[in-house]
Chains A and B, each alone.
Chain A
Amino acid sequence: MDFKVFDLGLIEYNQAFNFQKEIWQGVKENKIPSSIIICEHYPVITLGRNTKKANIFVDPSQLKKNGIEVIKTDRGGDITYHGPGQLVFYPIFNLNNFRRDIAFFLRNLEEVVIRYLYELGIVAERITGLTGVWVGGKKISSIGIAIRKWTTYHGLSLNVYRPCLLNFGLIRPCGMDIEVTSLEDILGRVKRDKIKNGIVRKFGEIFKYQGEKR
Protein backbone atom coordinates (compact mmCIF):
# COMPACT_ATOMS: atom_id res chain seq x y z
CA MET A 1 0.00 0.00 0.00
CA ASP A 2 1.34 3.42 -0.90
CA PHE A 3 1.31 6.52 1.19
CA LYS A 4 -0.72 9.37 -0.15
CA VAL A 5 1.73 12.04 -1.33
CA PHE A 6 1.04 15.78 -1.50
CA ASP A 7 3.65 17.93 -3.24
CA LEU A 8 2.98 21.56 -2.29
CA GLY A 9 6.03 23.06 -4.00
CA LEU A 10 7.33 26.35 -2.55
CA ILE A 11 4.92 27.47 0.16
CA GLU A 12 4.73 29.72 3.24
CA TYR A 13 5.44 27.83 6.47
CA ASN A 14 2.09 28.67 8.08
CA GLN A 15 0.12 27.75 4.99
CA ALA A 16 1.82 24.35 4.90
CA PHE A 17 1.24 23.97 8.64
CA ASN A 18 -2.49 24.52 8.22
CA PHE A 19 -2.50 21.93 5.46
CA GLN A 20 -0.66 19.49 7.73
CA LYS A 21 -3.30 19.90 10.44
CA GLU A 22 -6.07 19.29 7.91
CA ILE A 23 -4.45 16.07 6.70
CA TRP A 24 -3.65 15.10 10.31
CA GLN A 25 -7.35 15.26 11.15
CA GLY A 26 -8.23 12.88 8.32
CA VAL A 27 -5.35 10.47 8.98
CA LYS A 28 -6.11 10.38 12.74
CA GLU A 29 -9.67 9.29 11.96
CA ASN A 30 -8.47 6.76 9.34
CA LYS A 31 -10.47 8.67 6.72
CA ILE A 32 -7.41 9.09 4.52
CA PRO A 33 -4.29 6.92 4.34
CA SER A 34 -1.12 7.90 6.14
CA SER A 35 0.38 10.67 4.00
CA ILE A 36 3.62 12.41 3.15
CA ILE A 37 3.58 16.15 2.45
CA ILE A 38 6.56 17.45 0.46
CA CYS A 39 7.40 21.14 0.16
CA GLU A 40 9.99 23.88 0.32
CA HIS A 41 9.47 26.94 2.48
CA TYR A 42 10.09 30.62 1.94
CA PRO A 43 12.89 31.65 4.34
CA VAL A 44 11.75 31.00 7.89
CA ILE A 45 13.31 30.34 11.27
CA THR A 46 11.23 27.98 13.38
CA LEU A 47 11.54 27.47 17.10
CA GLY A 48 10.79 24.13 18.73
CA ARG A 49 9.65 23.60 22.30
CA ASN A 50 13.25 23.49 23.57
CA THR A 51 14.50 26.68 21.89
CA LYS A 52 16.36 29.29 23.86
CA LYS A 53 16.26 32.89 22.60
CA ALA A 54 20.08 33.14 22.58
CA ASN A 55 20.16 30.78 19.61
CA ILE A 56 19.15 33.57 17.21
CA PHE A 57 22.18 35.78 16.54
CA VAL A 58 20.39 38.52 14.62
CA ASP A 59 17.91 41.17 15.72
CA PRO A 60 14.33 40.14 14.85
CA SER A 61 13.75 43.46 13.02
CA GLN A 62 16.81 42.72 10.89
CA LEU A 63 15.38 39.32 10.00
CA LYS A 64 12.08 40.88 9.03
CA LYS A 65 13.86 43.34 6.75
CA ASN A 66 15.54 40.41 5.02
CA GLY A 67 12.19 38.68 4.59
CA ILE A 68 12.85 35.96 7.12
CA GLU A 69 9.96 35.04 9.38
CA VAL A 70 10.39 33.68 12.91
CA ILE A 71 7.70 31.22 13.97
CA LYS A 72 7.12 29.36 17.24
CA THR A 73 5.98 25.79 16.64
CA ASP A 74 4.69 22.88 18.69
CA ARG A 75 7.27 20.39 17.44
CA GLY A 76 10.07 18.91 19.51
CA GLY A 77 13.65 20.02 19.13
CA ASP A 78 15.37 23.37 19.04
CA ILE A 79 15.74 26.12 16.46
CA THR A 80 16.10 25.47 12.74
CA TYR A 81 15.98 27.21 9.39
CA HIS A 82 13.97 26.38 6.27
CA GLY A 83 14.37 28.02 2.88
CA PRO A 84 14.29 27.43 -0.86
CA GLY A 85 16.67 24.65 -1.84
CA GLN A 86 15.86 22.59 1.22
CA LEU A 87 13.25 19.84 0.83
CA VAL A 88 10.87 19.31 3.73
CA PHE A 89 8.97 16.06 4.28
CA TYR A 90 6.06 15.94 6.69
CA PRO A 91 5.00 12.33 7.33
CA ILE A 92 1.45 12.37 8.67
CA PHE A 93 1.27 8.81 9.96
CA ASN A 94 -1.32 7.17 12.18
CA LEU A 95 1.01 5.18 14.45
CA ASN A 96 -1.91 2.97 15.47
CA ASN A 97 -1.38 1.42 12.02
CA PHE A 98 2.38 0.98 12.57
CA ARG A 99 3.70 0.81 16.15
CA ARG A 100 2.71 3.07 19.02
CA ASP A 101 6.33 3.87 19.81
CA ILE A 102 7.88 7.33 19.61
CA ALA A 103 11.48 6.09 19.50
CA PHE A 104 10.63 3.66 16.68
CA PHE A 105 9.20 6.52 14.62
CA LEU A 106 12.15 8.89 15.16
CA ARG A 107 14.82 6.23 14.45
CA ASN A 108 12.96 5.14 11.30
CA LEU A 109 12.84 8.73 10.04
CA GLU A 110 16.62 8.87 10.32
CA GLU A 111 16.85 5.45 8.65
CA VAL A 112 14.89 6.76 5.64
CA VAL A 113 17.46 9.50 5.06
CA ILE A 114 20.52 7.35 5.84
CA ARG A 115 19.50 4.52 3.48
CA TYR A 116 18.53 6.90 0.69
CA LEU A 117 21.83 8.80 0.93
CA TYR A 118 23.63 5.45 0.87
CA GLU A 119 21.88 4.71 -2.41
CA LEU A 120 23.36 7.96 -3.73
CA GLY A 121 26.79 6.82 -2.58
CA ILE A 122 26.91 8.97 0.55
CA VAL A 123 27.77 7.49 3.90
CA ALA A 124 25.67 9.29 6.49
CA GLU A 125 25.34 8.58 10.17
CA ARG A 126 23.55 9.24 13.41
CA ILE A 127 25.37 10.90 16.27
CA THR A 128 24.49 9.34 19.61
CA GLY A 129 22.33 11.60 21.69
CA LEU A 130 21.56 13.92 18.78
CA THR A 131 18.62 13.39 16.45
CA GLY A 132 19.15 14.08 12.76
CA VAL A 133 21.48 12.80 10.06
CA TRP A 134 25.10 13.79 9.56
CA VAL A 135 27.70 13.48 6.81
CA GLY A 136 31.34 13.86 7.80
CA GLY A 137 30.32 15.56 11.05
CA LYS A 138 28.10 18.11 9.26
CA LYS A 139 24.34 18.10 9.54
CA ILE A 140 22.39 17.41 6.36
CA SER A 141 18.98 16.55 7.76
CA SER A 142 17.07 17.83 10.78
CA ILE A 143 14.19 16.17 12.57
CA GLY A 144 11.47 17.61 14.79
CA ILE A 145 8.09 16.03 15.20
CA ALA A 146 4.84 16.20 17.12
CA ILE A 147 2.50 13.33 17.98
CA ARG A 148 -1.10 13.87 18.99
CA LYS A 149 -3.60 11.03 19.41
CA TRP A 150 -0.81 8.75 18.07
CA THR A 151 -0.84 10.60 14.73
CA THR A 152 2.32 12.43 13.72
CA TYR A 153 2.98 15.80 12.10
CA HIS A 154 6.01 18.03 11.45
CA GLY A 155 8.92 15.93 10.17
CA LEU A 156 12.31 16.19 8.53
CA SER A 157 14.22 18.59 6.33
CA LEU A 158 16.98 17.71 3.88
CA ASN A 159 19.44 20.31 2.62
CA VAL A 160 19.58 19.80 -1.15
CA TYR A 161 21.01 22.96 -2.75
CA ARG A 162 23.88 24.97 -1.35
CA PRO A 163 22.14 28.38 -1.15
CA CYS A 164 19.78 27.09 1.55
CA LEU A 165 22.76 26.84 3.90
CA LEU A 166 23.58 30.56 3.92
CA ASN A 167 20.95 31.57 6.43
CA PHE A 168 21.92 28.88 8.93
CA GLY A 169 24.58 31.40 9.94
CA LEU A 170 21.85 33.52 11.54
CA ILE A 171 21.10 30.88 14.14
CA ARG A 172 22.69 28.23 16.29
CA PRO A 173 21.00 25.24 14.65
CA CYS A 174 19.53 22.77 17.15
CA GLY A 175 21.06 24.97 19.85
CA MET A 176 24.55 23.69 19.07
CA ASP A 177 27.65 25.01 17.35
CA ILE A 178 27.55 22.75 14.33
CA GLU A 179 28.28 22.89 10.63
CA VAL A 180 25.69 22.11 7.96
CA THR A 181 26.06 20.64 4.50
CA SER A 182 23.90 19.95 1.43
CA LEU A 183 23.58 17.28 -1.25
CA GLU A 184 24.96 19.77 -3.78
CA ASP A 185 28.09 20.21 -1.66
CA ILE A 186 28.69 16.47 -1.80
CA LEU A 187 27.35 15.39 -5.20
CA GLY A 188 27.12 18.51 -7.30
CA ARG A 189 23.85 19.34 -9.03
CA VAL A 190 21.00 16.92 -8.33
CA LYS A 191 17.38 16.92 -9.53
CA ARG A 192 14.64 17.79 -7.04
CA ASP A 193 12.21 15.21 -8.41
CA LYS A 194 14.72 12.42 -8.09
CA ILE A 195 15.28 13.25 -4.42
CA LYS A 196 11.55 13.58 -3.70
CA ASN A 197 10.72 10.24 -5.32
CA GLY A 198 13.69 8.53 -3.72
CA ILE A 199 12.80 9.63 -0.19
CA VAL A 200 9.13 8.66 -0.62
CA ARG A 201 10.21 5.22 -1.89
CA LYS A 202 12.46 4.75 1.16
CA PHE A 203 9.57 5.70 3.46
CA GLY A 204 7.64 2.84 1.85
CA GLU A 205 10.50 0.36 2.26
CA ILE A 206 11.26 1.20 5.86
CA PHE A 207 7.81 1.77 7.32
CA LYS A 208 6.16 -1.05 5.29
CA TYR A 209 2.80 0.65 5.31
CA GLN A 210 -0.07 -1.86 5.19
CA GLY A 211 -2.93 0.62 5.05
CA GLU A 212 -5.37 1.34 7.83
CA LYS A 213 -6.20 -1.41 10.29
CA ARG A 214 -9.88 -2.14 10.62
Chain B
Amino acid sequence: MTKVILPELGEGIDKAIVSYWYHKEGDKVKEKEDLVELTTDKATFNLPSPCNGVLVNILCPEGQTVHIGEALAEIDENG
Protein backbone atom coordinates (compact mmCIF):
# COMPACT_ATOMS: atom_id res chain seq x y z
CA MET B 1 0.00 0.00 0.00
CA THR B 2 1.39 3.43 -0.97
CA LYS B 3 0.47 6.42 1.15
CA VAL B 4 -0.24 9.79 -0.51
CA ILE B 5 1.62 12.32 1.65
CA LEU B 6 1.22 16.11 1.72
CA PRO B 7 4.70 17.36 0.69
CA GLU B 8 6.57 20.49 1.78
CA LEU B 9 4.86 23.53 0.23
CA GLY B 10 7.28 26.30 1.13
CA GLU B 11 8.24 28.46 4.05
CA GLY B 12 5.40 29.43 6.35
CA ILE B 13 2.85 26.93 5.04
CA ASP B 14 2.27 23.99 7.36
CA LYS B 15 -1.18 22.80 6.35
CA ALA B 16 -3.78 22.74 3.58
CA ILE B 17 -7.48 22.01 3.21
CA VAL B 18 -8.72 19.26 0.92
CA SER B 19 -11.00 21.03 -1.56
CA TYR B 20 -11.72 18.43 -4.24
CA TRP B 21 -11.09 14.74 -4.88
CA TYR B 22 -10.83 13.96 -8.60
CA HIS B 23 -11.43 10.26 -7.81
CA LYS B 24 -13.51 8.21 -5.40
CA GLU B 25 -12.51 5.13 -3.46
CA GLY B 26 -12.25 2.12 -5.74
CA ASP B 27 -11.13 4.15 -8.79
CA LYS B 28 -8.08 3.17 -10.79
CA VAL B 29 -5.49 5.97 -10.72
CA LYS B 30 -2.41 6.62 -12.81
CA GLU B 31 1.00 7.92 -11.72
CA LYS B 32 1.36 11.72 -12.14
CA GLU B 33 -2.37 12.11 -12.84
CA ASP B 34 -4.14 14.72 -10.67
CA LEU B 35 -5.57 13.03 -7.61
CA VAL B 36 -6.76 15.77 -5.28
CA GLU B 37 -7.04 19.55 -5.17
CA LEU B 38 -5.90 21.36 -2.02
CA THR B 39 -6.26 24.96 -0.86
CA THR B 40 -3.76 26.86 1.20
CA ASP B 41 -3.15 30.50 2.01
CA LYS B 42 -5.27 31.69 -0.94
CA ALA B 43 -3.75 29.24 -3.42
CA THR B 44 -5.23 26.10 -4.89
CA PHE B 45 -3.03 23.34 -6.26
CA ASN B 46 -3.23 19.70 -7.27
CA LEU B 47 -1.42 16.71 -5.88
CA PRO B 48 -0.64 13.99 -8.43
CA SER B 49 -0.87 10.29 -7.73
CA PRO B 50 2.55 8.88 -6.70
CA CYS B 51 1.92 5.57 -8.52
CA ASN B 52 -0.43 3.46 -10.63
CA GLY B 53 -3.02 1.49 -8.68
CA VAL B 54 -6.41 1.59 -7.04
CA LEU B 55 -7.42 4.37 -4.64
CA VAL B 56 -8.53 2.21 -1.72
CA ASN B 57 -8.72 4.68 1.17
CA ILE B 58 -9.44 8.40 1.29
CA LEU B 59 -8.16 9.43 4.73
CA CYS B 60 -9.01 13.14 4.43
CA PRO B 61 -12.42 13.96 2.97
CA GLU B 62 -13.19 17.31 1.32
CA GLY B 63 -13.18 20.16 3.82
CA GLN B 64 -10.69 18.50 6.15
CA THR B 65 -7.34 20.07 7.09
CA VAL B 66 -4.17 18.08 6.49
CA HIS B 67 -0.68 18.94 7.77
CA ILE B 68 2.64 18.59 5.93
CA GLY B 69 3.84 15.00 6.12
CA GLU B 70 0.40 13.56 6.87
CA ALA B 71 -1.24 10.97 4.66
CA LEU B 72 -4.26 11.92 2.53
CA ALA B 73 -5.02 8.55 0.98
CA GLU B 74 -3.78 5.03 0.35
CA ILE B 75 -3.24 3.48 -3.06
CA ASP B 76 -2.95 -0.26 -3.67
CA GLU B 77 -0.37 -0.75 -6.40
CA ASN B 78 -1.46 -4.34 -6.93
CA GLY B 79 -5.12 -3.39 -7.25
Hey, which bits of chain B sit against chain A, CB under 8 A? 9-13, 17, 19-20, 34, 37, 39-46
Contact = CB atoms under 8 A, between A and B. Distances in A.
Given A103-B9, A103-B11, A74 B44 contact: yes
Interface of A: 48-50, 74-77, 101-107, 131-132, 143-149
A41 B17 CA distance: 29
Contact of A101 (B9, B19, B37): B9
A149 B33 CA distance: 10
Given A103-B12, A147-B45, 17 more contacts: A48-B42, A49-B19, A49-B37, A49-B39, A49-B44, A76-B39, A101-B9, A101-B10, A103-B11, A103-B13, A104-B10, A106-B41, A106-B43, A145-B44, A147-B43, A148-B45, A148-B46
**Residue picked from A75, A76, A77, A104, most chain B C-beta under 10 Å:** A76
A146 B44 contact: yes
Contacts of A145: 42-44
Nearest to B46: A148
Contacts of B11: 101, 103-104
22 contacts: A48-B39, A48-B42, A49-B19, A49-B37, A49-B44, A74-B37, A76-B43, A77-B42, A102-B10, A102-B40, A102-B41, A102-B43, A103-B10, A103-B11, A103-B41, A104-B11, A131-B41, A144-B42, A146-B43, A147-B44, A148-B34, A148-B46
